[in-house]
Amino acid sequence: MIIRQNAGVTLAELMIAVGILAFVIVPIFGLLQYSNRGTREQDAEGIAANLAKEEMNRLMYVITRENLLLGAGAVHEWSFGADYDIKGNKFSGEYTVYPFTSNELAFAIPKFIFHDPQTCSSGVESNPGGTLNTPDTMTIAEVYPDTAGECRLADIRLVIRWRVATGEYNDVNQFELLARRAFVDKE
Amino acid sequence: MTKNNSGSRSGIALPLVLVFSICVMVFTASLVFFRKESKQQNLTNVHFLQANFLAQSAVQMMLLKLSAFPQEACDAGVLSLGYCPFRGIIAGSELAPVAGANRQGLIDFYSDCNSDRFPWKVPGITAANWKFATTDFKVISAYTNPGERQLIISSQITALGEANLPRGEMGVRKEEMIKTVKLTREN
């Protein structure tokens, strides 16, 4: 003889369970979607940082002085081109170069009053306390009078923007890098 | 007589749903947490880039100054050790500073290679957020090449970049960079 006990899951219990599930799952799906979108944006930001580093290294150490200074003061597109695509994300960048003139670059240079080298026997400076005079100032134009018109120092501003496939460029998804490049004559 | 065990499943739906819901909530919370971590990592990366390029800018300014004033740099370097710049230094000899050695010449030489003395040409930026400076310059080795009548000095530039990234309230990030350069003084 089989005795059945059907006291397991009642309809009311089932309804409460489904209610709780719906109450919990719906906002969680929203959070998951938010998290997923955020992950895509973070991924894009990481790529943007790497591209910015590449581009700034190019501007600092690779591109020639003539090419860098071409159209100085105007905004130039970066070397990757507009809307550079990586994994469906778009990246754009632009840089501006602001040159210094050689006359603006007035450096302080220490002035020395060394002892008479004819009397030097020990190799030790015998007048260390009184060796220095007030530092002088000299411009790069004075150091290189023949090429005083050449630019030897320039500021570079690089701005990077990015957007995910479904987004638009905005003021939040961007950052800038600043650097100063010297043009040193190789001898 | 057979009795099935359906009676033991009484009220199981609710606990099951609650356990499942808690698991999903924990999973979602961890996703959100890791997303925040990833965002912080990206901001840190960008911040590092900004400070690092500022430090490189200080090195660039110092390289320009060294190329324009190599003799003054050598004299200041030798004087910082207390030696006479006109006397030979035997290769491999210990370069311990002699008593009364004067570093002021070196300090005078490097202390104007910074963004305060030569402000940015880039318009519209907050200068306090983009600072760089050469913080030290020291001789690490020196010797005289008698055949070429040259004093050859290896020296180290220490540069500091300070970037203040308002985005993400990251505060000030400082990056130090050390570059070794070789200087030659014709005697």
* A168 part of a folded domain: yes
- What letter represents residue B164's amino acid? N
Mark yes or no for CB contact B118/A105 under 8 Å. Answer: yes
* Cα(B139)–Cα(B153) distance, integer angstroms: 7
CB B163 within 8 A of CB B172: yes
Alpha helices in chain B (DSSP H): 13-68, 70-81, 104-110
Of A5, A13, A135, the CB nearest to B6: A5
CB A168 within 8 A of CB A54: no
* B6 part of a folded domain: no
pLDDT confidence of residue A27: 84
* A135 part of a folded domain: no
Mark yes or no for CB contact B13/A178 under 8 Å. Answer: no
Total tally of structural domains belonging to chain B: 1
Q: B21 — contact with chain A (CB < 8 Å)?
A: yes
The two tokens of residue A19 are 């209610």
Mark yes or no for CB contact B125/A131 under 8 Å. Answer: no
Mark yes or no for CB contact A110/B63 under 8 Å. Answer: no
CB atoms within 10 A of CB A28: 17
CB B12 within 8 A of CB A10: no
* A163 part of a folded domain: yes
- Residue showing tokens 């020639």: A64
Interhelix angle B70-81/B13-68, rounded to 10 degrees, is 100
* Cα(B40)–Cα(B30) distance, integer angstroms: 15
Identify the H or E element spanning A57.
helix A11-57
* Cα(A79)–Cα(A67) distance, integer angstroms: 12
pLDDT confidence of residue B14: 75
Mean pLDDT by 10 residues, chain A (187 residues): 59 83 84 82 92 97 94 95 94 97 94 75 69 86 92 96 90 94 81
Total tally of structural domains belonging to chain A: 1
- Find how far residue B174's CA is from the centre of its chain: 6
* B9 part of a folded domain: no
Q: Tell me the torsion sign for CA atoms B62, B65, B66, B72.
A: negative
**At residue A97, what are phi and psi to the nearest 5 degrees?**
-115, 135
pLDDT confidence of residue B1: 46
* A45 part of a folded domain: yes
* A119 part of a folded domain: no
**Residue of A26, A164, A165 whose CA lies nearest to B28:** A26
- Find how far residue A12's CA is from the centre of its chain: 60
Q: B153 to chain A nearest CA, in Å? A: 16
Write out residues in chain B with pLDDT < 70, as ranges: 1-11
CB B120 within 8 A of CB B127: yes
Q: B90 — contact with chain A (CB < 8 Å)?
A: no
* B1 part of a folded domain: no
Q: Which of B16, B19, B23, B60 to mutate to test the interface with A (most CBs of A within 10 A)?
A: B60
Could you say which residues from 71 to 90 on chain A have a Cβ atom under 8 Å away from some Cβ of chain B?
none
The two tokens of residue A56 are 């700034």
- The SS3 assignment for A63 reads coil
* Cα(B60)–Cα(B66) distance, integer angstroms: 10
Residue A165 domain boundaries = 11-102+150-182
DSSP string for A87-145: TTEEEEEEEEEEEEPTTT-EEEEEEE-PPPGGG--SSB-S-STT-EEEEEEEEHHHHSG
pLDDT confidence of residue B144: 84
**Residue of A22, A14, A11, A25 whose CA lies nearest to B13:** A14
pLDDT, tens only, B11-26: 677 778 788 888 888 8
Residue B88 domain boundaries = 15-186
* A58 part of a folded domain: yes
pLDDT confidence of residue A160: 97
A104 → chain B, closest CA residue: B118
* Cα(A57)–Cα(A179) distance, integer angstroms: 10
* B30 part of a folded domain: yes
pLDDT confidence of residue A63: 95
**ipTM, two decimals:** 0.83
Q: B8 to chain A nearest CA, in Å? A: 7
CB B14 within 8 A of CB A21: no
Could you say which residues from 24 to 83 on chain B have a Cβ atom under 8 Å away from some Cβ of chain A?
24-25, 28, 31-32, 35, 38-39, 41-42, 45-46, 49-50, 53-54, 56-57, 60-61, 63-65, 67-69, 72, 75-76, 78-79, 82-83
